[in-house]
Amino acid sequence: MKTIQQVLRETDHKSIESAYFYEHPINLWEVKNLDDISIGEFNKHISDRFQEFLNKLCEMDIKKYRLKQGILFVYKSQTDDTLLGTSVGLIHADELIETDNISDLSTYAYEFTEQKEALSFLVADNKLTQDNLMDVIVDFLHEISFFGYNQESLGEEMKKLDESFKECKEHPERLIEFDHEKLCEEYGIPITEEYPEEDEMKRRYYEAGMEYTRYCKTIELQRIKNLLTKEIMEQ
pLDDT at 214: 94
> What is the CB neighbour count within 10 angstroms for residue 4?
25
pLDDT at 82: 59
Pairing of strands 122-123, 2-3: antiparallel
pLDDT at 222: 96
155, amino acid identity: G
The whole-angstrom separation of Cα 128 and Cα 75 is: 7
Core vs surface per residue 200-235: b (16+ CB within 10 A) or e: eeeeeeeeebeeebeebbbbbbebbbeebeeeeeee
DSSP-derived letter for residue 122 is E
pLDDT at 185: 81
- pTM assigned to the model: 0.82
Across the chain, which has 235 residues, the per-10-residue mean pLDDT values are 96 96 77 67 86 95 76 88 82 92 91 91 96 97 88 68 70 71 80 86 90 95 93 78
Helix (H, G, I), strand (E, B) or coil at 15: helix
pLDDT at 32: 58
DSSP for 186-208, please give it: HHTPPPPP--TTHHHHHHHHHHH
pLDDT at 38: 74
CA distances (Å), origin 27, targets 21, 23, 36, 146: 11, 12, 18, 14
